[in-house]
Amino acid sequence: MKISDNRGFNYVAGFHGVPQFKCWHHWRRRGEQRLLPLFLPWHRAYLYWLEQDLKDQVADITLPWWDWSSEISRDEGIPKAFSEKKDPSGNPNPLYKSHIFVPTATPPLDEDTFRNEQDTSLLPTKNDVDAVLRNTNFSDFEDDLEEIHDNIHGWVGGSMQRVAVAAFDPIFWAHHCMIDRIWRIWQTDRADLGFPVDLLDEVLEPFPFKVRDVLEVKSLGYDYASTSSEIIVSG
Amino acid sequence: MKKHISAINKKASKRRELQTYTTSAPLKFDIKKIEKFDRADIEFHGVDHSGVSYEGRVFLNNPRANAKTPKTLEYGYVGSYHIFGHGGCFGDIGHCDVVKQNRHYDFRPEHPLTAGFKRFIITDQLRELCKKYSEFTVTVVPIVNTDRKMKSMDLTNIIKFGKIAIVTYEA
């Protein structure tokens, strides 16, 4: 597939920053002072979109999450699947970096992503995640989770610490799956899923979703089980 | 002088100390009221996020704080916020100017670079500091994960916001 193909990674990565700038971080609706807490639903729709494009190529593929609060991350930093320059066959690892090709940017972008990781002792801990999960109010929860999210972007550094090009780095997606996973865990304790009712019909441009469409991950065809076992019972 | 700067840069770690800090004017409190609070937040309104990403280390009553100051309450450190910066402009002239637009039938979101908001909880820290002080200055020390692509970027004028507030709540 050519890098300019609109079914490909380069195209979808371009929704977030260059060239489309659709990502939702600090935005407001025009004429309103309050910030709209759409960071989590927008990025859930975004993850869904890439996963569907990937499934078109490999039917049973799913996006992985990177638990940057884990002990292994404290030892190794970015998971080896993303940090090794070569894959097990000795070929360049496509998860180590990707190519950014945006000829319409000013100046045009035609370059590889790069990283500049910090000391692993600066990564958030389980206690930090638990503190976020203790929030009972959605706005506080989202504020605190977005704060950890911002920290990780800066920790990885390089392309990841620039909104404009962050989504071109493959680790962006594993990081955001972790963010989405924490939201999912928070939701499991809430029958109403905890989202402000007056924002359920906000549109998550450019995706064909309103907020209410992305609240339940199972309706999007995935979940974040640590383990699962199943048995088919016929009869 | 030139030699001196280059020597500092050679020794500098990735998280480099920058030259410009921001210290607020004193924020005053009625100490009798503040003794009762159940939660205290520090809020940063109108935060610019158009430039580089950074950690803002927040110190109360320590205007001399810098990147080497220990992150302990003894030195006034109450926590950090992180900004995920836009990383510069990739459009034509005016692309990143935040233009206010008041058409009542314009339902698009605000400009992506409309200034943002950050807050974090400082309940225990403020309770402790209130034993010694009744007014506070807020000093923010920016820490940037510098890289080769930042050569052309302004790293000495990073922190821009419209208002700082310390807000307390009673249950």
The structural domains of chain A, with segments of one domain joined by +, span 9-220
Residue A63 is given by DSSP the state -
Residues of chain A contacting B, Cβ within 8 Å: 17-19, 21, 23-31, 35-36, 102, 105-107, 109, 114, 116, 118, 143-144, 147, 149-151, 153-155, 157-158, 161-166, 205
Pick the CATH number of A9-220 from 1.10.1280.10, 2.60.210.10, 3.40.50.720, 2.40.50.140: 1.10.1280.10
- Give the whole-angstrom CA distance, residue B151 versus residue B6: 14
The two structure tokens encoding residue B81: 């916020």
B7, part of any domain: no
* pLDDT (0 to 100) of residue B22: 64
Buried b (16+ CB within 10 A) or exposed e, B36-60: ebeebbbbbeebbbbbbbbbbbbbb
* CA distances to A133, A150, B53, B145 from A155, in Å: 22, 9, 10, 7
Least confident of A85-99, B25-39, B96-110: B25-39
The total domain count for chain B is 1
With contact defined as beta carbons under 8 Å apart, do A215 and A195 qualify?
A: yes
B105, part of any domain: yes
Chain B residues in contact with A18 by the CB 8 A cut-off are 90
CA atoms within 13 A on the CB side of A127: 0
CA atoms within 13 A on the CB side of B30: 5
Chain A residues in contact with B90 by the CB 8 A cut-off are 17-19, 102, 105-107, 109, 164
Mean pLDDT, chain A, rounded, equals: 92
Chain A nearest-CA distance from B157, in A, is: 17
Q: Give Dmax over CA atoms of chain B in angstroms.
A: 59
List beta partners, residue B164: B44
What number is the average pLDDT over the span A3-16?
Answer: 93
B24, part of any domain: yes
B5, part of any domain: no
* pLDDT (0 to 100) of residue B86: 92
How many Å is the Cα radius of gyration of chain B? 19
B87, part of any domain: yes
The two structure tokens encoding residue A188: 């499991």
Least confident of A135-144, B9-18, B26-35: B9-18
- Give the whole-angstrom CA distance, residue A233 versus residue B165: 60
Mean pLDDT, chain B, rounded, equals: 81
Beta strand B22-23 with B116-121 is unpaired
* pLDDT (0 to 100) of residue B79: 97
B119, part of any domain: yes
In the predicted structure, residue B104 carries a pLDDT above the cut 90: no
Q: Where are the beta strands (DSSP E) in B2-99?
A: 15-17, 22-23, 27-28, 39-47, 54-60, 77-83
- Cβ distance B147 to A116 less than 8 Å, yes or no, reads yes
With contact defined as beta carbons under 8 Å apart, do A138 and A37 qualify?
A: yes
Prediction ipTM score: 0.92
- Cβ distance B104 to A158 less than 8 Å, yes or no, reads no
Least confident of A2-11, A174-183, B116-125, B157-166: B157-166
What number is the average pLDDT over the span B39-58?
Answer: 92
Nearest-CB residue to A164 (from B54, B86, B104): B86
B162, part of any domain: yes
Chain A nearest-CA distance from B102, in A, is: 7
What number is the average pLDDT over the span B46-63?
Answer: 93
- Cβ distance B15 to A23 less than 8 Å, yes or no, reads no
Of B81, B15, B14, the closest CA to residue B48 belongs to B81
Higher pLDDT, B171 or B168: B168
B152: phi then psi, degrees, rounded to nearest 5: -95, 5
Q: Read off the pLDDT of residues A21-76 as tens digits, 9 standing for 90 and up.
A: 888 876 666 666 667 789 999 999 999 999 999 999 999 999 999 999 999 999 99
What number is the average pLDDT over the span A70-95?
Answer: 96
Decide if B105 touches A, using CB distance below 8 A: no
Q: Read off the pLDDT of residues B109-165 as tens digits, 9 standing for 90 and up.
A: 788 888 888 999 999 999 999 888 888 889 999 999 999 888 877 788 888 888 888
What number is the average pLDDT over the span B82-104?
Answer: 88
pLDDT band per the 50, 70, 90 thresholds, residue B18: very low
Give the percent of chain A with pLDDT over 90.
Answer: 78
* pLDDT (0 to 100) of residue B34: 66
Chain B nearest-CA distance from A39, in A, is: 13
Chain A nearest-CA distance from B121, in A, is: 10
B3, part of any domain: no
Domain span at residue B82 reads 14-169
